[in-house]
Amino acid sequence: MIDKIKELDLRGRSGSFFPVSTKWESFKNQNQKEKYIICNGAEGEPDVFKDGYILENFPHEVVGGIKFCLSYFKAKKAFIYLRKDYYRDFNTRLRREIEDGSIGFKIKEDSYIAGEETAIINSIEGKRAEPKKKPPFPTEKGLWGYPTLIHNTETFYCISRIEKGLYEGERFFHVSGKVPNRGTFLFKHNTTIREALEKSGNMPHFPFFLQVGGGASGEIVCQNEIDKPVETLGSIKVFDKRTFNKEKLIKEWARFFMYGNCDKCTPCREGIYRIMELSSKGNLEEMDEMIEALEKSSFCPLGPSAARPFKSIKKIDENLS
């Protein structure tokens, strides 16, 4: 199965896009008496509901992927980690698919950072949902100190399809924003931004830019950059260049990250607050130092993720003509 996953070049369907085969090899090589599996359904990006669509329409495949990993790695137990509304809406149908006690549930805390993989481990252990230092990585030392394999909902869907011989390199794309057909669509994994917009009936007929890879942490992509594949989180948000408010958008991002981080490190705790303050005053040109601190000094990946939209939105001014 690892060779098959490697041949298919399956990547984790979260923002990291990390090779699944590499994670599996590390996990399999750990010689411990207990191992654990976690399905991350904590999806926290604003305007992104891809995992919710999968949980609603493909619970059999998600649970099937988790059960395969339990058997393949001889793991002791699995947990499905869900944000509150997903637990409310989907836990009953997921439990019907599970049928035994091999898979438990944990409800995500409110903050965005509670969806980071080491924060999830802390949360399931009953601790504060904040990230831990890596290495060691969860595949080496995770839940209760034992090796733990963590994938998001879509990745387990893909694993189930591969195990059954049905996987054809597909992935889910979520399209939102100024579009007529907002929703989740299934296309080939190497589909370009342009193709995803055209195939979903969402190609704008006005000057536009996009946020790709997250509703807050995604990179800003200009109209002349859409012939490249979507390589991170499969989300595309469309903005009308004629009517968007730059200061308002930056303030929305800053507010999201200010309330969504764990306040553990200074770059996130103070830097994002400072960006919020500067955006309120319209002093956007003074943000560069804060953005660099987020990118280079944060304790966990939230800092670089938060820096990405603030850094890339400068392209809009360069392309306004």
CATH no., domain 246-318: 1.20.1440.230
Domain extent listing, the chain: 2-163, 170-240, 246-318
Weakest-pLDDT range from 60-64, 76-80, 127-131: 127-131
**pLDDT surpasses 50 at 111:** yes
**pLDDT surpasses 80 at 284:** no
Q: Which residues, other chains included, contact 134 with Cβ-Cβ below 8 Å and sequence gap of 6+? A: 118
At position 34, the amino acid (one-letter code) is E
Weakest-pLDDT range from 59-68, 84-93, 281-290: 281-290
**pLDDT surpasses 90 at 240:** yes
CATH no., domain 170-240: 3.10.20.600
Q: Which residue has the tokens 């979260």?
A: 14
Quickly state the pLDDT bin for 321 (edges 50, 70, 90): very low
The DSSP H or E segment spanning 212 is strand 208-212
Q: Which residues, other chains included, contact 96 with Cβ-Cβ below 8 Å and sequence gap of 6+? A: 59
User: What number is the average pLDDT over the span 102-130?
Assistant: 92
DSSP assigned state of 49: -
Residues 31-71: pLDDT tens digits? Answer: 999 999 999 999 999 989 999 999 999 999 999 999 999 99
User: What's this model's pTM, rounded to 2 decimal places?
Assistant: 0.93
User: What number is the average pLDDT over the span 18-23?
Assistant: 93
**pLDDT surpasses 50 at 75:** yes
CATH no., domain 2-163: 3.40.50.11540
